[in-house]
Amino acid sequence: MTDRFKQAMRQTCQQIRAQLPASFQRTAARKICSQIRALDQYRYAKRIALYQAVNGEVDLSSLWKSAPLQGKYCYFPALNEDNSLSFLPATPATRLLNNRFGIAEPDVGRDLALSPEQLDVIFMPLVGFDEKGTRLGMGAGYYDRTLANHNARLLIGVAYEFQRQSFIEAQPWDVPLALIITERRLYWSKP
């Protein structure tokens, strides 16, 4: 799969996602969050990494609002100068500041960050995916760079069903997902 083909796939999926009706996005997010709450891996998790949805990504804010009531601590990715991510703690009351891409990040000290190994589940947005757990992201490699030298416990991609592709050629640096959750089903890619 050439880089041009991946870029075209990325642009097409992003354009469709950005134009989804708000009612569809809300309904899909509700179904996806329901499926997440039913997972044993989520129910027993204490430290979870979420993300701030932008440009039509699946919104997991209902998980963020309910997680503290279930004894869970939430962490969000924040960009580092070396183009890796730090996972910073946040509650719904935490002040957020937009990064250079307009994505909200917790306004807390970097000394509070957890490494990927310390998180029970890391939820990631994506642009496309295949059933083997290959994730097509935005193209900058922030998650792959961050997770490359860490043994994260459980990586879960969150997407709409239309983002499923029959095949995405994985690159050597791509970190595979264990599970992708859409509004229609769960795609387990490895035990």
pLDDT digits (tens, 9 = 90+) for 130-175: 999 999 999 899 999 999 989 999 999 999 999 999 999 998 989 9
Break the chain into its structural domains and give their ranges.
3-188
Contact 139, 22 (CB under 8 A): no
- The residue written with tokens 């050629």 in the block is 169
CATH class as words, domain 3-188: alpha beta
Question: Is 0.85 topped by the overall pTM?
Answer: yes
Share of the chain above pLDDT 90, in %: 91
Q: Measured between alpha carbons, how far is 161 from 139 in angstroms, rounded to an integer?
A: 20
pLDDT digits (tens, 9 = 90+) for 39-62: 999 999 999 999 999 999 999 999
Q: What's the chain's Rg over C-alpha atoms?
A: 16
**Measured at the alpha carbon of residue 191, what is the angle toward residues 164 and 66, in degrees to the nearest 5?**
70
Coil vs helix vs strand at 147: helix
